[in-house]
Amino acid sequence: MLKPEISASLWSRGMMAVIAAQFLSAFGDNALLFATLALLKAEFYPDWSQPILQMVFVGAYILFAPFVGQVADSFAKGRVMMMANGLKLLGAASICFGVNPFVGYLLVGIGAAAYSPAKYGILGEITSGDKLVKANGLMESSTIAAILLGSVAGGVLADWHVLAALGVCALVYAGAVVANLLIPKLPAARPGQSWRFTPMTHSFFSACKSLWRNGETRFSLVGTSLFWGAGVTLRFLLVLWVPVALGITDNATPTWLNAMVAVGIVVGAGVAAKLVTLETVARCMPAGVLIGVAVVLFSLQHALLPAYGVLMLIGMLGGFFVVPLNALLQAIGKASVGAGNAIAVQNLGENMAMLVMLGLYSLAVKAGAPVVGTGVGFGVIFALAIAALWFWQRRR
């Protein structure tokens, strides 16, 4: 039984500690990405290797998906978050000390894979009912604020000194570990599960089967997978789009453009928390279709100021789209397969989508496809995919 004071308020000490830890961890993730991209650029890695870096990170999510949900549900989630951030710290520090950046980033990916089910699963343990959507709004706002500041810090620091940027990332992860210590130690959601390989994988794939068979959770899983697959691809598209469309070759400009998406998602998440409930999740679907339209519009820009505006619009639409879908999955998942398992299943779907989209994007870059044309095609395909999902949901 959870302590009443833990779940009584959206602004409890436990919630604030979770939000602070999430901010620092996400700040480190985003700063490290741009610092490591700058390192690849400084060491003359080919352009097509940039999305490969993220594919290594995503591969860790996929490889460990059958196990991390059980880990999150078998121990106090705050302590799981702390150990995961410790792995991220080890990965960032190893890159600082000259370890191959792809190896170091793989360690960060393993930490992130373990961290995600715990950070989202804990929300259902310290809040309930309609507060869960608001708690997700806080979590997404914290995450996006971290993306905003972390991305910019990574790019700006890398323009000054790449090693200094990597060192700051390691220090931020250390701060996240400390913040995790302030989260109250809640009881494990599902203690005593088997740690043998076959039962663990069977449990995970049973959870997959259960969630993908349920119409509402399948709707959420497909929607969030499409969104995050598209989001990570857009991030790498920006890195190559900026010098082609704007003629700017520094490391900071793509991070500022990513920051505008982050600002927009904070706004969109806040609006979703006020206008959408678990019973009215379908209201988010038009925003998903418009994301694809806005990506097409963005790809055709050739000036910095309009690009900022369109990317902020993309972020607002994205925040309004993804927050209700996350809350829907957590609410149903908590009551059926466990919140940790539900988020692990979601991570598998999202990261499979990322892996496929990044792989296709990397192949397009290696084949010499024009960046603007790639962006337009990407936006059109995304809009059609969300429209098809919306049509399927209405028929169901």
Q: Which of 383, 9, 5 is nearest to 184 (CA)?
A: 5
**pLDDT, position 3:** 44
Percent of the chain with pLDDT over 70: 93
pLDDT band at 6 (very low <50, low <70, confident <90, very high): very low
**pLDDT, position 376:** 92
Evaluate if residue 368 carries a pLDDT over 90: no
Query: Are 123 and 139 spatial neighbours (Cβ–Cβ below 8 Å)?
Result: yes
Residue 300, SS3? coil
Mean pLDDT of 19-25: 92
Q: How far apart are CA 177 and CA 184, in angstroms?
A: 14
Evaluate if residue 278 carries a pLDDT over 80: no
Of the candidate CATH numbers 1.20.1250.20, 3.40.50.150, 3.40.1350.10, 1.10.150.120, the domain formed by 12-184+214-395 belongs to: 1.20.1250.20
* Residue of higher predicted confidence among 4 and 103: 103
Q: What value does the mean pLDDT of the chain take? A: 84
**pLDDT, position 5:** 42
* Residue of higher predicted confidence among 148 and 223: 223
Q: Choose the most confident range, by mean pLDDT, from 128-137, 257-266, 290-299.
A: 290-299
Q: Choose the most confident range, by mean pLDDT, from 248-262, 268-282, 344-358, 376-390.
A: 376-390
Residues with Cβ within 8 Å of 97's Cβ and at least 6 positions away in sequence, in order, are: none
Q: Where are the alpha helices (DSSP H) in the chain?
A: 4-7, 13-42, 49-74, 77-96, 101-121, 123-126, 131-160, 162-180, 197-213, 215-241, 252-275, 285-299, 304-336, 339-366, 371-395
**pLDDT, position 103:** 93
Retrieve residue 204's tokens: 């995970």
The dihedrals phi and psi of 300, each to the nearest 5 degrees, come to -90, 0
Torsion of CA 294, 362, 164, 143, to 10 degrees: 40
**pLDDT, position 340:** 65
Least confident range from 108-112, 113-117, 156-160: namely: 113-117
Q: How far apart are CA 220 and CA 329, in angstroms?
A: 6
Positive/negative CA dihedral, 234, 239, 245, 250? positive
* Residue of higher predicted confidence among 371 and 73: 371
Percent of the chain with pLDDT over 90: 23
**pLDDT, position 35:** 92
pLDDT band at 10 (very low <50, low <70, confident <90, very high): low
Evaluate if residue 7 carries a pLDDT over 60: no
**pLDDT, position 192:** 65
**pLDDT, position 2:** 41
Q: How far apart are CA 244 and CA 260, in angstroms?
A: 19
**pLDDT, position 4:** 39
Query: Are 320 and 284 spatial neighbours (Cβ–Cβ below 8 Å)?
Result: yes
Least confident range from 184-188, 296-300, 387-391: namely: 184-188
Query: Are 56 and 102 spatial neighbours (Cβ–Cβ below 8 Å)?
Result: yes
